[in-house]
Structure 1
Amino acid sequence: MANLFVGIDPGCSGALVAIHSDGTYVNHVNMPTLKQGSSNRVNGAAIVAWLMEFGPYIEHAYLELVHSMPGQGTSSTFNFGHSAGVVEGILQGCHIPYTLITPQSWKKSAGLIGSDKDAARSRAIQLYPSLRALDLKAKGQAISDALLIARHGLGVKS
């Protein structure tokens, strides 16, 4: 199980995916969350537990670099940034080397520039046809994004 790489689509509706250096799928988890008041927050303890399942085998993680988007509300922007910060802090605290990857760069390498949001899921289904979790619309989207982020980080042809 050596040489694992993790792709991370941050945010409360995101996912973490572990793959081998050749792009072979290993495991995933949809972003674990906790209810805090009327909001959801990333469950950092659950992320650490998932990462520690693979512990010394994780060679590098690739985390999507997030920023605010036009039309996004103040509260949702804060929650998204908070989630990404929690995940980045966990990577640092677990001593997992990581690289921040812009959405534009991983989408370009997957041939998705100018495509609709579901195009990433369609591409991931083509690359991982036996991964049934990709069939789920929203959760499958997050897993797809995390897979393609990891593949881009590794330079595996998408």
Structure 2
Amino acid sequence: MINLFVGIDPGCSGAIVVISESGEYVSHLNTPTVKVGTKSRVNGAQVATFLLQYRGEISHAYLEQVGAMPGQGVSSMFTFGHAAGNVEGILQGMFLPYSLVTPQAWKKSAGLIGSDKDAARSRAIQLYPSLRALDAKAKGQAIADALLIARHGLGVKS
């Protein structure tokens, strides 16, 4: 049996990354969305379809634990929390074991405490230089965060 691990940067602009137990990149999915009125919502069916490709191979998922951030509006926080809850519900519904990981915890293990937002992408590019998806500024940032979340869960030193 292959042991795969999932890292999830939640939110409508997040990403889901699958890595092997040695930290090797396997695949990723930028969080798919659908429009509901004027709002974007996570396309849960597409997230589940992506994860189902690895049915029986995923040992554990690591989901960034989200909370309210200072200065963020009520509407945007609701949308963000809705997206994170959607993905957590999918993990539960698929009976995948998962852990919530605080941003402070995964950033500490990646050596990013006190760094700017783009430091995660720079670190991920160092660790995965052939992963061209990291080159895109915004989408690459989400993939980088998800990669480092998964690596934190594995205890792989970044």
Give yes or no for the alignment of 1:13 onto 2:6. no
Determine the C-alpha separation between the residues in 2 that align with 1:92 and 1:117: 30
Tell me by how many angstroms 1:78 deviates.
0.2
Please give the per-residue CA displacement for 1:56-88, whole angstroms capped at 9, x wherever unaligned: 100100000000000000011000000000000
Determine the C-alpha separation between the residues in 1 that align with 2:83 and 2:133: 22
User: 2:81 — aligned with what?
Assistant: 81
Determine the C-alpha separation between the residues in 2 that align with 1:35 and 1:106: 31
Tell me by how many angstroms 1:3 deviates.
0.2
- Name the SS for the 1:126 alignment partner: helix
Give yes or no for the alignment of 1:66 onto 2:66. yes
User: 2:114 — aligned with what?
Assistant: 114
The Cα RMSD (Å) is 0.7
Structure 2: which 5+ runs fail to align?
none
Q: Aligned runs of 1:5-154 on 2, under 5 Å?
A: 5-154=5-154
- Name the SS for the 1:89 alignment partner: helix
Please give the per-residue CA displacement for 1:79-104, whole angstroms capped at 9, x wherever unaligned: 00000000000000000000000000
- Name the SS for the 2:72 alignment partner: coil
Letter in 1 for 2:79: N
Letter in 1 for 2:67: H
- Name the SS for the 2:55 alignment partner: helix
Determine the C-alpha separation between the residues in 2 that align with 1:121 and 1:38: 30
Letter in 1 for 2:27: N
Determine the C-alpha separation between the residues in 2 that align with 1:33 and 1:126: 29
TM-score, length of structure 2 as denominator length: 0.99
Tell me by how many angstroms 1:37 deviates.
1.1
Percent sequence identity over aligned pairs: 73
Letter in 1 for 2:14: G
